[in-house]
Structure 1
Amino acid sequence: MSTAVEVVALHVSPVHAYEGRPGDGPRPDPEPVSREHVVVRAGLGLVGDRYFNQPAHRAAAVTFFAVESLEHIADRLGLPGPPNPLVVRRNVVLRGFDVDRLARHDVFTLDSGDGPVRFEAHRAANPCGWMDAVIAPGAFKALRGRGGRRCVPLDDGLLRLGPATLTT
């Protein structure tokens, strides 16, 4: 089944920004967070990301997130609008597909104009306590079950911001 989606954010970072105690605040990224495109390598992840080619993270190298989850917590917490999608630090943020409904080992394809790239879904990308510090108190609880999905790329390819097609 093919679904028209939008890639609303792409995030690649060589370091963790949310380490230590949330009260101390996140570390700044050493380079810009927002990307126009990312390079995907089969079995390895996103080029330049902290999880790229890390054996302990091969089945979780790329994280997907639905921007609708941020709209949900904005409504639930009474925020003036949804938070910046990059604040959740997920690699690929989509509009138009509930990534949390993917089951372990589901294979899906995302094509943002440069050819299809297949991914295999693995475990949930559970939110952490940092969400209360970087979004608003209560965000951690509001994101439970809506934190996205950790995946492994099955193909080399390129993903871009903008309209895309997701096939399950």
Structure 2
Amino acid sequence: MRYFVFLACLLAIWTVAVDAQETELKHYPLDDVSGLITQSDVSIDKDVTSDGKGSLKATASQPRVVRLFETGDLGVDNARLIYRARLKTEDLKGQAYLEMWCHFPGKGEFFSRGLQNPLSGTNNWVTEETPFFLQKGEKPDNVKLNLVINGTGTVWIDDIRILRAPLK
């Protein structure tokens, strides 16, 4: 029994240490529409929010991509680039997930999609994320952040963060 308690404590310490290695590069609280790319069929909702300050409400009558932000050059390579956000859904017929596109000079754009845990139906606030693994020398000069609604319904997104973490 002591062995299992020791392993549980070690795992907890390791988890905290890994989380502490994340560095926030950008934060988009979505309290207003500043810098937001898509302006149609979206609005700031001050009543439904994960942080008490407002969220972006997107309504879909058909599948759509909500283009949120472009970061520009983040000056990062040899790391995990993590797109993390809080999502809430209501009567979503289909799926919603995060999508990140990284542009590399002379190579084009490549994407990462949060398809491991897409949301559907009605869900309270959950944290979703999608990583992009950057090897040494792979430096995107722009990162595009999207919300994909592959169906119909309402999705709220809040507290978007771009994080840098070590490669595992």
- TM-score range relative to shorter protein: under 0.3
Which structure has the larger Rg? 2
TM-score, length of structure 2 as denominator length: 0.27
By percentage of residues, which structure has more strand? 2
More helix by share: 1
